[in-house]
Amino acid sequence: MDNTNEEFKSVCKKLIEINKIRIIKMSEMKLTKSKKDKIGEGGQAVVYHGMLGNIDVAVKVLVDIDWKSLSNELIIIANIVHDNIPKFYGIITENNKIEMVFQYVEGKTLDEFKDNNFSYFSYDEKLKMIKGLAGAIETIYKNNFIHRDLKPENIIIDSNKKPYIIDFGIAKVLMDSNSIATRAKGTLNYVAPEVFEEEEGGDDNSDMFISSVTHKVDVWAFGCIVSYLFSGYVPWTPKYKNNEGLIMDKLRKKAPFPIPTQITDENIKKIIAMATIVDKEKRCSITDIKEFLDKMN
């Protein structure tokens, strides 16, 4: 492990103490890590269903620990409390591993409901869902955090059709300013155009570049999610098909976001338009959008 990783490993230990994160013992858990209990898997973690006492939990087992990313994630998940974000119970550190324990939300990701243009949800249910998501995003912002990867795959819908925002693995902490210089990340169909504005001091030897992002990238992603939910079409399609090169070109050239013609409700179109103003300085805040939503029936 290099010196940088060692430094961030030390930072993580301090953050656990400062934020009074609960250290959970394996003896408190019922966790088999069997195939039938696996509920998710990514490049750096596997998630299992388990029990903490008599509470159903989701246990995120880190396979390849990025201590810098983990330090960000620990600050964020230890300090965010919202009804549409799973509760964080603590971490398991036994056997030289890091395992994060969260509230278990039984359901499916929003993307898994895309068949038949999300017809499983009524208009009022969709409206209630986006109000809940807007409230969660506002809480993230008010705590000086940016999620950076809001998309349907990172939203779980439970049996009561209640949405939960998950996966803060690439989230960022804002310090004294309202922006942070970071490597471009996110999912193309939900990425704001400013992510492709390269900052001075980028690494010429890297295939990624540094851009300055604010909480407005989450606002843009929210608008894209609303567009998808109310139209059934992935953002930027069907107008540009799903041609990644073409979509990226439109984002770089700051083309207006194409609101699908299938959306006829003027209020929903207004919300999408507020969230996808190309100029981040003019783009509405999530609080503005939440206030607009609160006025809707």
At residue 16, the pLDDT reads 92
Cα(216)–Cα(222) distance, integer angstroms: 10
Q: Which pLDDT score is estimated for 186?
A: 63
Check if the beta carbon of residue 168 is closer than 8 Å to that of residue 76: yes
- Whole-angstrom distance, CA of residue 296 vs CA of residue 153: 27
Residue 146's SS3 state is: strand
94: helix, strand or coil:
helix
The DSSP 8-state label assigned to residue 284 in this structure reads: P
Helix 286-295 × helix 123-142 angle, to 10°: 150
What letter does residue 182 receive in the DSSP assignment?
E
What backbone phi and psi angles, to 5 degrees, belong to 157? -110, 120
Question: What pLDDT, on the 0 to 100 scale, is given for residue 96?
Answer: 81
Task: Give the chain's domains with CATH numbers.
Answer: 3-103 (3.30.200.20), 107-295 (1.10.510.10)
Q: Which residue has the tokens 């656990």?
A: 16
pLDDT of the residue at 178 = 57
Query: Strand pairing of 163-165 and 99-103?
Result: unpaired
Q: What was the pLDDT predicted at 61?
A: 93
Q: What is the pLDDT along the chain (297 residues), one digit of tens a residue?
A: 466 678 878 888 899 999 999 999 999 999 999 999 999 887 788 999 999 999 999 999 998 888 888 888 899 999 999 999 999 999 999 988 899 999 999 999 999 999 989 999 999 999 999 999 999 999 999 999 999 899 999 999 999 999 999 988 877 776 544 544 455 456 899 999 998 887 655 444 444 555 678 899 999 999 999 999 999 999 999 899 889 999 999 999 999 999 999 999 999 999 999 999 999 999 999 999 999 999 986
Contact by Cβ (8 Å): 156, 105? yes
